[in-house]
Amino acid sequence: MGNGAVSLSQISKRFPGGTQALRDLSFSVAPGEFAALLGPSGCGKSTALRIAAGLLAPDAGTVTRDTNDIGFVFQDPTLMPWADALTNARLPLDLKHVARGEANDRTAAALKRVGLGGFEHAYPRELSGGMKMRVSLARALAAQPKLLLLDEPFAALDEITRNALGDDLLRLWREDGLTVLFVTHSVSESSFLASRVLVMSPRPGSITADLALPPGRDSRLAPATIDAQRRISAALNTALAA
């Protein structure tokens, strides 16, 4: 089954328009790690994530994943508007032909874990942006993935909701021992959530810094978190100046 490790080696990708999105991109994420892929908009980090998930084929290079149990959370909630929260979050289990009763139980539990107990039969249009994102997260968790890939999942939310969801994600990661690869353009978000930050530079996208963050970042304003922010900012500035 594997433990959720993923590794990209010498990945290059050119888009049909001719833009070189990624060139010789290499990084690996160890089992149980919470890695943030940080970079400015348009640096190819989402492309890298889709390649890591196997949704996009690279032009060159190899992707090694020791598991196919992947959860994926998009920037938008990406829910089926015609289905209630339970049916939406149950989709991975339905596609894998899990028996309906068991699938309902597991999905209801996943919804409860993201704080949506009691909203099983709410339709997406009845939910707030943050709640929709929670359904999306519950859907990713319902299939009990080893590797969770997130593509700027909280970028469209307000700061209060974003922080609450970040706290939940951190808790879920600790409880489940998942491997997380989290694409973001937020220095503060990565400094608090991630155990490791991979800084990407644009055109063509490649990794320019690989920072392991020390423990002790208990809150967003803890000295260790602020210190991590300084290090990440410095690395990002170097990447952009190059």
Partner 1 sequence: MRRAFDIALPLLLAAALLGLWEWTVAAKQIPPYVLPAPSAIARAFAENFGSLMEALLSTLTVTLEAFVAATVLGVATATLFAQSRTMERMLYPYAVILQVTPVVAIAPLILIWVGFDHINLALVIIATIVAFFPILAGTTLGLKSADFNLIDLTRLYGASRLQTLWRIRLPGALPYLLSGMKTAGGLALIGAVVAEFVAGSGTATGLAWRIVESGNRLEIATLFAALALLAFTGVLIFAALSLLEWALLRRWHESAIRQS
**Candidate residues 124, 130, 153, 205; the one interacting with partner 1 per rule CB under 8 A:** 124
Closest CB 72 distance from partner 1, rounded Å: 6
**Candidate residues 9, 31, 32, 123; the one interacting with partner 1 per rule CB under 8 A:** 123
**Candidate residues 29, 143, 178, 194; the one interacting with partner 1 per rule CB under 8 A:** 143
Q: How many CB atoms lie within 10 A of CB 92?
A: 22
Q: Which of 159, 152, 153 is nearest to 135 (CA)?
A: 153
Which C-beta is closer to partner 1: that of 139 or that of 196?
A: 139
Which C-beta is closer to partner 1: that of 142 or that of 207?
A: 142
Q: Which sign, positive or negative, has the C-alpha torsion 55, 235, 29, 106?
A: negative
Phi and psi dihedrals of 8, rounded to 5? -110, 135
Amino acid at 241: A
Q: What residues pair up with 170 in beta bridges, in sequence order?
A: none
Q: Which of 176, 181, 170 is nearest to 225 (CA)?
A: 170
- Can residue 180 be called a binding residue for partner 1 (CB under 8 A)? no
- Can residue 96 be called a binding residue for partner 1 (CB under 8 A)? yes
- Can residue 72 be called a binding residue for partner 1 (CB under 8 A)? yes
**Candidate residues 101, 125, 215, 241; the one interacting with partner 1 per rule CB under 8 A:** 125
- Can residue 80 be called a binding residue for partner 1 (CB under 8 A)? yes
Which residues are CB-neighbours of 46 under 8 A, at least 6 positions away? Answer: 75, 151, 152, 183
- Can residue 91 be called a binding residue for partner 1 (CB under 8 A)? yes
**Candidate residues 44, 92, 130, 153; the one interacting with partner 1 per rule CB under 8 A:** 92
Under DSSP, the state recorded for 205 is B
Question: How many residues make contact with partner 1 (CB under 8 A)?
Answer: 23
What distance in Å separates the CA atoms of residue 57 and residue 13, rounded to the nearest whole number?
A: 8
Q: 3-class DSSP state for residue 28? A: strand
- Can residue 102 be called a binding residue for partner 1 (CB under 8 A)? no
- Cβ(140)–Cβ(110) under 8 Å? no
Closest CB 92 distance from partner 1, rounded Å: 5
Which residues here bind partner 1, judged by CB under 8 A? 50, 53-55, 68, 70, 72, 74, 76, 78, 80-83, 91-92, 94-96, 123-125, 143
